Structure 1
Amino acid sequence: MKRGSNMPAVGTYNQTLVLDMIRRSPAGLSRIELAAQTGLSAQTLGNVARRLAAEGFVVEGDRVVLGPGKPRTPLQLNRTARYAVGIHLDPSVDTFVVVDLAGDIVAHRERPPAAEAGAAELIAALARDATALLRSADVPMDRVLGIGVAAPGPIDHESGTVLTPPLLPRWHHTRLRELLAEAARHPVVVEKDVVAAMVGELWAETEHALDDAALVYYGAGVGLGMAVDGEAVRGRTGNAGDIGHLLVEPGGPPCHCGQRGCLGVSVAPERLLFDAGITDSPAIAPTAVWGAIDEMRTRIADGDRRALAVRDLAAADFARAIVLLNNVLDAGTFVIGGPVWSRLGEALRPALDAALPVMPQITTTRPIVLREARLGTDLAAAGAASLVLDEAFTARASDLMIGLA
């Protein structure tokens, strides 16, 4: 449990701490409950509550009678106080969402990746579509905190530049944060997609069950998000989570790195579709992937032997990867999600559940808990929007640091 401080120099920390606790309690929390959970004095808590109410972040709910004594009035989150936009750049589809202060999606749009060739045109298209989505949801522009963008790595986290993601060549070396902020006239944060996904799941989780967990992201590529003590792990350069070259299928398909059976190529959607006989070649246009995955899911449901064999091998690859990662991290809880998982996970999950506990590589002492991502197909986009909320409203111990002259 995070504790507050009565020092006047840390009002911002106390305010975000109290707001976060209220946000995670759907019924709201009374001032007495907040005082007990934060350790703040009645005076400090009263000041914090007044500031939150004055800024429109919280409202008072109906009074609750809990036996003798004065009825308690819960403070509840005002979901419409602020909004954020999330954008996920993907080879197959660009996803846009608007979320409210609770992190709930209030508007959603998907479109094929923009056909523009130049960085300026690509940025203009993002800004135009983000603004259109906000207007369609009747969101007041003065309540928009900013825009979060999730992109495949590698990225330059300090400058917000997309470097050289293999499947997004038109975005190479684009100063995305700077240019989009200028075009959209909102603050922008840029994050690697797996980190954004982990932040989104942390924001959506109200019980702190994912404070120490890992997330397997399955989209055009595969990656790993991690959380330690409630904060996403970014790594030294912001590019943590590249697990594509984890060896899971000895003798499997060749990878450009020189190995055979790397996780990235073993569970690549194009490879599964080709091996299942859905496509005639491993080369498939990104925009055709979703329809082909739907066909594979249908064949699995109909008991097609070839499709079932591919399903079982992919499930074993995922199980081996999760076990090997857990041997290193000892996370215990893994979340799995992403655009491809959202479409194929229902068919893969039974085989994955069966393979996971019998993997011979297990060295940890407790069973692995596997959970579906709450944010579904919008995992990265909603996570990107949650980045904006997280930066503005999450209490961190680092906020308590006081510089010395």
Structure 2
Amino acid sequence: MNRTGTNLPAVGEYNQTVVLDAIRRRPEGITRSELAALTALSGMTVTKVCRRLLDAGLVDEQGRRNSGPGKPAAVVKLNPSGGFAVGVHIDPAAVTYVLVDLSGTVRDHSRTGTPTAGDPSAVIDEMANAIEALIAGSAVDRSRILGIGIASPGPVNVEEGLLLNPPMMPTWHQVALRRALAEATGLPVLLEKDTTAAVVAELWFADPTSSRDFAFMYYGTGLGTGLSVAGEVVRGIGSNAGDAGHITVDPEGEVCACGRRGCVGHITVPRTLVQQAVHAGVLTAAEAGSPDSTVDVDAAFTRLAALAAAGDAGAGVILTGAAQALARAIVVIVNLLDIDEVIFGGPFWARVSPAILAALPGAVHADPALIPPHPIRFAQSAIPVDVAAVGAATLVLDNTFSPRPSALLLATE
């Protein structure tokens, strides 16, 4: 979707983001006259904005081409090294760090175990050290680091920058992570729910013709959902929208931690599927290990997925059942929001995607509860490394460079 600007002087900063957004979405380059036509800005405004972007090192002029009568016009392209953002994804199993340039390319990444210390200062120190090591190891100009984005399991308090009570992370309670990490690194910090960050990333990297109405199903240690409606991220009043884990998909199913039966966020996650595999004799207790160990669950889930891929009937039944449960939850979400696409991603997704996607679309479209008559597409996120970590970095780029009528400023507190 192309944004258009205004020629009123009072919104010069907004015009700058409009022009930069148009440039970054055309990696082949664009002339000033083409920018003027695309953004509905005057040629003089575009020229002034491009001059500022060139002076700031955010864009370059690379070659010339004919775009109408007269001499060939200079081609303006994004300078990927004009700015960088750090993304941090906190998961019960690991913390992933990425360094992303303006084009969205992941320049470097690292991963550590999730800190479990009850003392927030120990947590902050460990994360700050990992971020500094990532920046130093990448050899980028630190002055070009625009900020740090943090993606965390919900619930979060975005306004205060707090991690409230993330699931499966019992010592992380009311952690003022944004303020402390900003103080430790001297960089601006943003905090967002992980599934919301994933949606921001999908919108940032989306082709202009891509759907603007979709759900992002994040399949990691837990199941999360992020939402985009009309190209805008659905955050909700407390920035915790999209928690679909407690949609009941099997009234006779296992009891969830919430006390109800058959919640999709309980019966489809890796730990539960591994336990089902043990009960069905697909995996031995020794192969499954401890259900409370993220390392053991990861290894056992990998084994279960490999068995399904190899044609093991028992493993296939378990994953097909998970697909059917996901389908019932997706029908509820599609009915509620009238979306036409569901995107999947997350650290555990790739291992089971062939088995799940073999059964999921048919189960959704055959569900008698499905209301919208339009087709629903199912896709896999193409974002590399860790979509939530990249999404966290994208939060910084998005808040800095995406055009909005009301500018959002990065804050360090």
TM range (shorter): over 0.9
State the match for 2:333 in structure 1: 325
**Separation in 2 of the partners of 1:365 and 1:147?**
42
TM-score (norm 1): 0.95
State the match for 1:306 in structure 2: 314
Say if 2:388 is the partner of 1:387.
Answer: no
- The letter of the residue matching 1:78 is N
State the match for 1:96 in structure 2: 97
CA distances 1:130-189 after superposition (whole Å, capped 9, x unpaired): 110111111111000111111111111111000111211222111000001011111111
**Separation in 2 of the partners of 1:221 and 1:393?**
31
CA distances 1:201-244 after superposition (whole Å, capped 9, x unpaired): 11111325243322111111112211233221110011111111
Pick closer, same or farther for the CA change 1:376–1:355 going to 2, 3 Å.
farther
Contact 1:148-1:190 at 8 Å conserved across structures? yes
State the match for 2:351 in structure 1: 343
* Per-residue deviation, 1:279: 5.7
Pick closer, same or farther for the CA change 1:66–1:21 going to 2, 3 Å.
closer
Say if 2:244 is the partner of 1:246.
Answer: no
Say if 2:257 is the partner of 1:256.
Answer: yes
Unaligned runs of 5+ in 1: 401-405
Runs of 4+ in 1 over 3 A off after TM superposition: 65-69
> Which stretch shows the higher mean deviation, 65-74 or 191-200?
65-74
TM-score (norm 2): 0.93
**Separation in 2 of the partners of 1:49 and 1:76?**
10
**Separation in 1 of the partners of 2:351 and 2:100?**
22
State the match for 1:371 in structure 2: 379
- The letter of the residue matching 1:106 is R
* Per-residue deviation, 1:82: 0.5
- Aligned match of 1:297 in 305, 329, 339? 305
**Separation in 2 of the partners of 1:297 and 1:253?**
22
* Per-residue deviation, 1:67: 7.5
- The letter of the residue matching 2:128 is A
Report the count of equivalent residues: 400
State the match for 1:403 in structure 2: none
Unaligned runs of 5+ in 2: 409-413
Contact 2:116-2:169 at 8 Å conserved across structures? no
Matches within 5 A, 1:46-61: 46-61=47-62
* Per-residue deviation, 1:365: 1.2
SS of equivalent to 1:366: coil
Contact 1:218-1:341 at 8 Å conserved across structures? yes
Say if 2:365 is the partner of 1:357.
Answer: yes
What is the CA RMSD across the aligned residues, in angstroms? 1.7
Contact 2:252-2:262 at 8 Å conserved across structures? yes
**Separation in 1 of the partners of 2:369 and 2:259?**
23
- Aligned match of 2:323 in 315, 318, 329? 315
User: What is the percent sequence identity of the aligned residues?
Assistant: 43
**Separation in 2 of the partners of 1:346 and 1:180?**
39
- The letter of the residue matching 2:323 is A
CA distances 1:9-54 after superposition (whole Å, capped 9, x unpaired): 1010000011011111110211111111111111111101100111
